[in-house]
Structure 1
Amino acid sequence: MKSVTLVLFEGAEPVYSIVNKAIEAAVNFFYDEATMEVLEMAIPDEAYNDERGQIEATLLIKALNENTQLDKKDLTIALLIKDMYYKNMNFIFGLADIKRKRIIVSTYRLERDYSTQHVAPVDDLNERVFKEVLHEIGHVFGFEHCPNKSCVMSFSPTLFDVDNKLPLLCEVCRSRLKTF
Protein backbone atom coordinates (compact mmCIF):
# COMPACT_ATOMS: atom_id res chain seq x y z
CA MET A 1 0.00 0.00 0.00
CA LYS A 2 1.34 3.42 -0.98
CA SER A 3 1.54 6.26 1.51
CA VAL A 4 0.47 9.68 0.23
CA THR A 5 0.59 12.90 2.22
CA LEU A 6 -1.52 15.84 1.19
CA VAL A 7 -0.01 19.09 2.43
CA LEU A 8 -2.44 21.96 2.76
CA PHE A 9 -0.56 25.23 2.66
CA GLU A 10 -2.20 27.88 4.83
CA GLY A 11 -5.68 28.83 3.69
CA ALA A 12 -6.17 25.76 1.47
CA GLU A 13 -8.58 23.92 3.79
CA PRO A 14 -11.82 25.36 2.30
CA VAL A 15 -10.71 24.58 -1.27
CA TYR A 16 -9.57 21.10 -0.23
CA SER A 17 -13.06 20.38 1.11
CA ILE A 18 -14.32 21.02 -2.45
CA VAL A 19 -11.59 19.25 -4.48
CA ASN A 20 -10.59 16.36 -2.20
CA LYS A 21 -12.38 13.74 -4.32
CA ALA A 22 -10.67 15.02 -7.48
CA ILE A 23 -7.27 14.70 -5.79
CA GLU A 24 -8.08 11.19 -4.53
CA ALA A 25 -9.20 10.16 -8.03
CA ALA A 26 -5.92 11.39 -9.53
CA VAL A 27 -3.93 9.47 -6.90
CA ASN A 28 -6.00 6.33 -7.50
CA PHE A 29 -5.27 6.54 -11.23
CA PHE A 30 -1.61 5.77 -10.54
CA TYR A 31 -1.83 3.85 -7.25
CA ASP A 32 -4.19 0.89 -6.80
CA GLU A 33 -4.15 1.27 -3.04
CA ALA A 34 -3.07 4.37 -1.18
CA THR A 35 -3.53 5.75 2.28
CA MET A 36 -3.83 9.51 2.45
CA GLU A 37 -2.76 11.65 5.36
CA VAL A 38 -3.48 15.39 5.52
CA LEU A 39 -0.90 17.75 6.97
CA GLU A 40 -1.13 21.54 7.31
CA MET A 41 1.93 23.66 6.63
CA ALA A 42 2.76 27.36 6.65
CA ILE A 43 4.08 29.05 3.53
CA PRO A 44 7.68 30.04 4.27
CA ASP A 45 8.18 33.82 4.32
CA GLU A 46 11.08 33.56 1.87
CA ALA A 47 8.75 31.98 -0.73
CA TYR A 48 6.81 35.24 -1.11
CA ASN A 49 8.02 37.51 -3.87
CA ASP A 50 6.56 40.88 -2.86
CA GLU A 51 7.55 42.48 -6.15
CA ARG A 52 5.55 39.92 -8.14
CA GLY A 53 2.84 39.30 -5.56
CA GLN A 54 3.37 35.56 -6.07
CA ILE A 55 4.92 32.52 -4.45
CA GLU A 56 8.15 31.11 -5.88
CA ALA A 57 7.34 27.43 -6.48
CA THR A 58 10.91 26.17 -6.08
CA LEU A 59 11.00 27.56 -2.55
CA LEU A 60 7.82 25.66 -1.69
CA ILE A 61 9.39 22.47 -3.04
CA LYS A 62 12.45 23.24 -0.91
CA ALA A 63 10.23 23.64 2.17
CA LEU A 64 8.55 20.30 1.44
CA ASN A 65 11.95 18.65 1.02
CA GLU A 66 13.09 20.04 4.38
CA ASN A 67 10.03 18.69 6.20
CA THR A 68 11.19 15.42 7.78
CA GLN A 69 7.58 14.27 8.29
CA LEU A 70 7.43 13.67 4.52
CA ASP A 71 10.64 11.66 4.18
CA LYS A 72 9.13 8.18 4.24
CA LYS A 73 6.12 8.94 2.04
CA ASP A 74 5.68 7.50 -1.44
CA LEU A 75 4.17 10.76 -2.71
CA THR A 76 3.52 14.24 -1.38
CA ILE A 77 0.88 16.47 -2.94
CA ALA A 78 0.77 20.08 -1.78
CA LEU A 79 -2.27 22.27 -2.36
CA LEU A 80 -1.81 26.03 -2.55
CA ILE A 81 -4.42 28.75 -3.03
CA LYS A 82 -1.92 31.51 -3.80
CA ASP A 83 -0.58 32.39 -7.24
CA MET A 84 2.81 30.84 -7.96
CA TYR A 85 5.53 31.10 -10.57
CA TYR A 86 8.59 29.20 -11.73
CA LYS A 87 11.77 30.75 -13.13
CA ASN A 88 10.89 33.17 -15.94
CA MET A 89 7.27 32.03 -16.33
CA ASN A 90 4.50 34.47 -15.37
CA PHE A 91 2.65 31.74 -13.48
CA ILE A 92 2.27 27.99 -13.24
CA PHE A 93 -0.53 25.69 -12.17
CA GLY A 94 1.75 23.00 -10.78
CA LEU A 95 5.30 21.80 -10.30
CA ALA A 96 6.86 18.40 -9.57
CA ASP A 97 10.08 17.39 -7.87
CA ILE A 98 10.49 14.09 -9.65
CA LYS A 99 13.38 12.79 -7.54
CA ARG A 100 11.69 13.40 -4.18
CA LYS A 101 8.15 12.65 -5.46
CA ARG A 102 6.71 15.95 -4.33
CA ILE A 103 4.19 17.98 -6.28
CA ILE A 104 2.49 21.33 -5.78
CA VAL A 105 -0.74 22.43 -7.42
CA SER A 106 -2.02 25.99 -7.10
CA THR A 107 -5.76 26.54 -7.37
CA TYR A 108 -5.38 30.31 -7.62
CA ARG A 109 -5.93 30.48 -11.39
CA LEU A 110 -7.83 27.19 -11.62
CA GLU A 111 -10.62 28.73 -9.53
CA ARG A 112 -11.30 31.46 -12.07
CA ASP A 113 -13.23 31.64 -15.30
CA TYR A 114 -10.65 32.76 -17.85
CA SER A 115 -13.09 34.85 -19.86
CA THR A 116 -14.67 36.84 -17.01
CA GLN A 117 -12.26 36.33 -14.09
CA HIS A 118 -15.26 35.35 -11.95
CA VAL A 119 -15.14 32.26 -9.77
CA ALA A 120 -15.45 29.13 -11.90
CA PRO A 121 -18.23 26.60 -11.30
CA VAL A 122 -17.32 23.85 -8.81
CA ASP A 123 -17.42 21.15 -11.51
CA ASP A 124 -14.89 23.10 -13.59
CA LEU A 125 -12.62 23.55 -10.57
CA ASN A 126 -12.74 19.84 -9.75
CA GLU A 127 -11.93 18.82 -13.31
CA ARG A 128 -9.05 21.31 -13.50
CA VAL A 129 -7.58 20.15 -10.20
CA PHE A 130 -7.93 16.51 -11.28
CA LYS A 131 -6.10 17.24 -14.55
CA GLU A 132 -3.30 19.19 -12.89
CA VAL A 133 -2.73 16.70 -10.07
CA LEU A 134 -2.80 13.84 -12.60
CA HIS A 135 -0.36 15.77 -14.81
CA GLU A 136 2.10 16.42 -11.97
CA ILE A 137 1.91 12.84 -10.68
CA GLY A 138 2.58 11.80 -14.26
CA HIS A 139 5.88 13.70 -14.10
CA VAL A 140 6.76 11.81 -10.90
CA PHE A 141 6.13 8.60 -12.84
CA GLY A 142 8.56 9.72 -15.53
CA PHE A 143 6.22 11.21 -18.11
CA GLU A 144 7.43 14.26 -19.99
CA HIS A 145 5.16 16.77 -21.71
CA CYS A 146 3.18 15.15 -24.50
CA PRO A 147 2.82 16.86 -27.90
CA ASN A 148 -0.81 15.65 -28.11
CA LYS A 149 -2.77 18.71 -26.90
CA SER A 150 -5.70 16.55 -25.78
CA CYS A 151 -3.48 14.43 -23.48
CA VAL A 152 -3.44 15.31 -19.80
CA MET A 153 0.37 15.28 -20.02
CA SER A 154 0.42 18.13 -22.55
CA PHE A 155 1.95 21.39 -21.34
CA SER A 156 -0.75 23.88 -20.37
CA PRO A 157 0.52 27.45 -20.25
CA THR A 158 -3.03 28.85 -20.03
CA LEU A 159 -6.31 27.96 -18.37
CA PHE A 160 -7.77 27.57 -21.86
CA ASP A 161 -5.24 24.78 -22.48
CA VAL A 162 -6.13 23.09 -19.19
CA ASP A 163 -9.82 23.18 -20.07
CA ASN A 164 -9.27 21.86 -23.59
CA LYS A 165 -7.17 18.82 -22.75
CA LEU A 166 -8.91 15.63 -21.74
CA PRO A 167 -8.72 14.28 -18.17
CA LEU A 168 -6.82 11.19 -19.32
CA LEU A 169 -3.66 9.98 -20.97
CA CYS A 170 -3.51 9.69 -24.75
CA GLU A 171 -2.96 6.28 -26.35
CA VAL A 172 0.82 6.76 -26.58
CA CYS A 173 1.14 7.76 -22.91
CA ARG A 174 -1.20 4.95 -21.82
CA SER A 175 1.07 2.46 -23.57
CA ARG A 176 4.06 3.93 -21.71
CA LEU A 177 2.20 3.60 -18.40
CA LYS A 178 2.34 -0.18 -18.73
CA THR A 179 6.15 -0.02 -18.53
CA PHE A 180 6.16 1.58 -15.06
Structure 2
Amino acid sequence: MDWKSTFSFFGLNGFLRISFLVLILVVFSNCRQSQKRTICLQPFSDFSASDTKKIQAELQKVYSDVKILQPIDFPKDSWNAAKTRHRADSIIRFLDRRTSENQLTIGLTHKDISTTKGKFKDWGVMGLGFCPGKSCVASSFRLHEKNKFEQLFKVAIHELGHTEGLPHCPEKTCFMRDAKGKNHKDEEKDFCASCKRKLIASGWNLK
Protein backbone atom coordinates (compact mmCIF):
# COMPACT_ATOMS: atom_id res chain seq x y z
CA MET A 1 0.00 0.00 0.00
CA ASP A 2 1.49 3.35 -1.07
CA TRP A 3 1.07 6.63 0.86
CA LYS A 4 -1.91 7.73 -1.24
CA SER A 5 -3.75 4.49 -0.52
CA THR A 6 -2.83 4.79 3.16
CA PHE A 7 -4.16 8.37 3.28
CA SER A 8 -7.41 7.34 1.56
CA PHE A 9 -7.89 4.36 3.89
CA PHE A 10 -7.21 6.06 7.23
CA GLY A 11 -8.23 9.65 6.49
CA LEU A 12 -6.27 12.75 7.48
CA ASN A 13 -6.35 12.26 11.25
CA GLY A 14 -5.47 8.60 11.07
CA PHE A 15 -2.65 9.27 8.64
CA LEU A 16 -1.22 11.99 10.90
CA ARG A 17 -1.41 9.70 13.94
CA ILE A 18 0.48 6.95 12.11
CA SER A 19 3.11 9.44 10.90
CA PHE A 20 3.57 10.74 14.46
CA LEU A 21 3.93 7.19 15.81
CA VAL A 22 6.60 6.37 13.23
CA LEU A 23 8.48 9.56 14.16
CA ILE A 24 8.38 8.62 17.87
CA LEU A 25 9.74 5.13 17.10
CA VAL A 26 12.60 6.57 15.04
CA VAL A 27 13.52 9.07 17.78
CA PHE A 28 13.35 6.34 20.45
CA SER A 29 15.57 4.06 18.38
CA ASN A 30 18.15 6.82 17.88
CA CYS A 31 18.12 7.62 21.62
CA ARG A 32 18.80 4.00 22.48
CA GLN A 33 21.67 3.84 20.01
CA SER A 34 23.26 6.98 21.47
CA GLN A 35 23.02 5.97 25.14
CA LYS A 36 26.25 6.04 27.11
CA ARG A 37 28.11 2.73 27.41
CA THR A 38 30.08 1.29 30.32
CA ILE A 39 33.02 -0.91 29.37
CA CYS A 40 33.41 -3.81 31.82
CA LEU A 41 36.76 -5.58 32.04
CA GLN A 42 36.25 -9.23 32.92
CA PRO A 43 39.58 -10.86 33.86
CA PHE A 44 39.70 -14.63 33.85
CA SER A 45 41.44 -16.43 36.69
CA ASP A 46 44.85 -16.40 34.95
CA PHE A 47 44.79 -12.61 34.54
CA SER A 48 46.04 -10.73 37.61
CA ALA A 49 44.52 -7.62 39.19
CA SER A 50 47.63 -5.58 38.37
CA ASP A 51 47.48 -6.66 34.72
CA THR A 52 43.79 -5.72 34.56
CA LYS A 53 44.54 -2.25 35.96
CA LYS A 54 47.16 -1.73 33.24
CA ILE A 55 44.56 -2.40 30.55
CA GLN A 56 42.03 -0.19 32.35
CA ALA A 57 44.56 2.67 32.41
CA GLU A 58 45.19 2.36 28.68
CA LEU A 59 41.48 2.18 27.81
CA GLN A 60 40.73 5.23 29.95
CA LYS A 61 43.04 7.28 27.76
CA VAL A 62 40.44 6.75 25.02
CA TYR A 63 37.18 6.13 26.91
CA SER A 64 36.45 7.31 30.44
CA ASP A 65 33.82 4.86 31.74
CA VAL A 66 35.74 1.62 32.30
CA LYS A 67 35.17 -0.60 35.34
CA ILE A 68 36.81 -3.82 36.52
CA LEU A 69 34.83 -6.94 37.44
CA GLN A 70 35.92 -9.69 39.82
CA PRO A 71 37.98 -12.49 38.21
CA ILE A 72 36.11 -15.63 37.12
CA ASP A 73 36.99 -19.09 35.83
CA PHE A 74 36.67 -19.99 32.17
CA PRO A 75 33.33 -21.57 31.28
CA LYS A 76 33.65 -25.35 31.33
CA ASP A 77 32.47 -25.68 27.74
CA SER A 78 35.09 -23.30 26.34
CA TRP A 79 37.85 -25.90 25.80
CA ASN A 80 38.60 -27.03 22.26
CA ALA A 81 38.51 -30.77 21.52
CA ALA A 82 42.19 -31.25 22.43
CA LYS A 83 41.90 -29.06 25.55
CA THR A 84 44.84 -26.93 24.40
CA ARG A 85 42.94 -23.69 23.74
CA HIS A 86 39.78 -21.96 24.87
CA ARG A 87 37.17 -21.30 22.20
CA ALA A 88 36.70 -17.55 21.84
CA ASP A 89 33.14 -17.86 20.52
CA SER A 90 32.11 -19.94 23.56
CA ILE A 91 33.67 -17.35 25.87
CA ILE A 92 31.77 -14.53 24.14
CA ARG A 93 28.43 -16.30 24.43
CA PHE A 94 29.14 -16.92 28.13
CA LEU A 95 30.03 -13.25 28.73
CA ASP A 96 27.06 -12.04 26.70
CA ARG A 97 24.65 -13.69 29.15
CA ARG A 98 26.31 -11.77 32.00
CA THR A 99 26.24 -8.37 30.27
CA SER A 100 23.50 -5.83 30.96
CA GLU A 101 22.06 -3.34 28.50
CA ASN A 102 24.31 -0.35 27.77
CA GLN A 103 27.36 -2.32 28.88
CA LEU A 104 30.13 -3.88 26.85
CA THR A 105 32.11 -6.71 28.44
CA ILE A 106 35.57 -7.78 27.35
CA GLY A 107 37.18 -10.93 28.70
CA LEU A 108 40.92 -10.72 29.38
CA THR A 109 43.30 -13.68 29.43
CA HIS A 110 46.90 -14.69 28.86
CA LYS A 111 45.76 -18.12 27.60
CA ASP A 112 45.56 -19.13 23.96
CA ILE A 113 42.14 -18.71 22.33
CA SER A 114 40.76 -19.85 18.99
CA THR A 115 37.81 -19.79 16.62
CA THR A 116 36.76 -21.39 13.34
CA LYS A 117 38.09 -19.60 10.27
CA GLY A 118 37.20 -21.02 6.85
CA LYS A 119 38.60 -24.54 6.58
CA PHE A 120 40.49 -24.15 9.88
CA LYS A 121 38.36 -25.48 12.74
CA ASP A 122 40.66 -24.24 15.50
CA TRP A 123 42.40 -21.05 14.35
CA GLY A 124 44.40 -19.27 17.05
CA VAL A 125 43.48 -15.59 17.44
CA MET A 126 44.49 -12.53 19.48
CA GLY A 127 40.87 -11.58 20.07
CA LEU A 128 37.32 -11.97 18.88
CA GLY A 129 34.16 -9.86 19.00
CA PHE A 130 30.75 -10.41 17.44
CA CYS A 131 29.79 -7.54 15.11
CA PRO A 132 27.61 -6.21 16.60
CA GLY A 133 27.30 -7.66 20.10
CA LYS A 134 27.65 -6.98 23.82
CA SER A 135 30.84 -8.90 24.60
CA CYS A 136 34.25 -9.86 23.24
CA VAL A 137 37.55 -11.37 24.38
CA ALA A 138 41.24 -10.46 24.07
CA SER A 139 44.32 -12.62 24.73
CA SER A 140 47.99 -11.70 25.15
CA PHE A 141 49.17 -15.19 24.14
CA ARG A 142 50.19 -14.20 20.59
CA LEU A 143 51.52 -10.72 21.36
CA HIS A 144 55.09 -9.45 21.56
CA GLU A 145 56.49 -9.71 25.07
CA LYS A 146 58.34 -6.40 24.80
CA ASN A 147 55.18 -4.25 24.62
CA LYS A 148 52.55 -6.84 25.46
CA PHE A 149 50.16 -4.59 27.37
CA GLU A 150 50.17 -1.81 24.79
CA GLN A 151 49.36 -4.38 22.13
CA LEU A 152 46.73 -6.06 24.30
CA PHE A 153 45.01 -2.69 24.75
CA LYS A 154 44.89 -2.35 20.96
CA VAL A 155 43.40 -5.84 20.60
CA ALA A 156 40.84 -4.94 23.27
CA ILE A 157 39.80 -1.63 21.69
CA HIS A 158 39.60 -3.32 18.27
CA GLU A 159 37.22 -6.01 19.55
CA LEU A 160 35.15 -3.46 21.46
CA GLY A 161 34.80 -1.59 18.17
CA HIS A 162 33.37 -4.73 16.58
CA THR A 163 30.80 -5.06 19.37
CA GLU A 164 29.54 -1.60 18.37
CA GLY A 165 29.18 -2.74 14.77
CA LEU A 166 32.42 -1.35 13.33
CA PRO A 167 33.80 -3.43 10.44
CA HIS A 168 37.48 -3.70 9.62
CA CYS A 169 38.97 -0.44 8.40
CA PRO A 170 41.31 0.10 5.40
CA GLU A 171 43.29 2.78 7.31
CA LYS A 172 46.59 1.18 8.35
CA THR A 173 46.94 3.28 11.52
CA CYS A 174 43.35 2.75 12.68
CA PHE A 175 42.58 0.47 15.63
CA MET A 176 40.05 -1.33 13.39
CA ARG A 177 42.65 -2.47 10.85
CA ASP A 178 42.26 -6.10 9.76
CA ALA A 179 45.16 -8.17 11.12
CA LYS A 180 44.83 -10.77 8.33
CA GLY A 181 46.64 -13.34 10.44
CA LYS A 182 49.53 -11.01 11.34
CA ASN A 183 50.40 -8.66 14.18
CA HIS A 184 50.34 -5.03 12.98
CA LYS A 185 49.53 -3.56 16.38
CA ASP A 186 52.63 -1.35 16.59
CA GLU A 187 51.44 0.50 13.46
CA GLU A 188 47.99 1.28 14.90
CA LYS A 189 47.69 4.69 16.60
CA ASP A 190 44.01 5.62 17.06
CA PHE A 191 40.53 5.27 15.58
CA CYS A 192 40.38 7.02 12.21
CA ALA A 193 37.96 9.95 11.81
CA SER A 194 35.29 7.78 10.17
CA CYS A 195 35.38 5.12 12.91
CA LYS A 196 35.29 7.83 15.60
CA ARG A 197 32.13 9.35 14.12
CA LYS A 198 30.39 5.98 14.15
CA LEU A 199 31.38 5.28 17.76
CA ILE A 200 30.26 8.71 18.95
CA ALA A 201 26.92 8.16 17.20
CA SER A 202 26.61 4.87 19.12
CA GLY A 203 27.06 6.61 22.47
CA TRP A 204 30.81 6.51 23.05
CA ASN A 205 32.09 9.49 25.02
CA LEU A 206 35.46 9.41 23.31
CA LYS A 207 38.16 11.61 24.77
Tell me if TM exceeds 0.5. yes
Aligned to 1:80: 109
Matching of residue 22 in structure 1 with residue 55 in structure 2: yes
Shift of 1:76: 1.0
Aligned to 2:164: 141
Aligned to 2:90: 59
Question: What SS does the aligned partner of 1:82 have?
Answer: coil
The alpha-carbon distance between structure 1 residues 99 and 7, as it changes in their structure 2 partners (threshold 3 A), is same
Q: How much identity, in percent, do the aligned residues show?
A: 25
Structure 1 stretches of 4+ with a deviation exceeding 6 A read none
Map 1:79-98; keep pairs closer than 5 Å: 79-88=108-117, 90-98=123-131
Give the conservation status (yes or no) of the 8 Å contact 1:19–1:129: no
Give the conservation status (yes or no) of the 8 Å contact 1:23–1:133: no
- 1:50-83 CA distances to partner (integer Å, 9 max, x unpaired)? 427211111111221333xx33561212101111
Question: For 1:35 and 1:169, how far apart are their aligned partners in 2?
Answer: 18
Structure 1-normalised TM-score?
Answer: 0.75
Structure 2 gap segments, 5+ residues each: 1-35, 203-207
Structure 2-normalised TM-score?
Answer: 0.67
Aligned to 2:45: 10
Question: For 1:64 and 1:6, how far apart are their aligned partners in 2?
Answer: 11
Q: Which amino acid aligns with 2:150?
A: E
The alpha-carbon distance between structure 1 residues 135 and 43, as it changes in their structure 2 partners (threshold 3 A), is same
Question: What SS does the aligned partner of 1:60 have?
Answer: helix
Aligned to 1:117: none
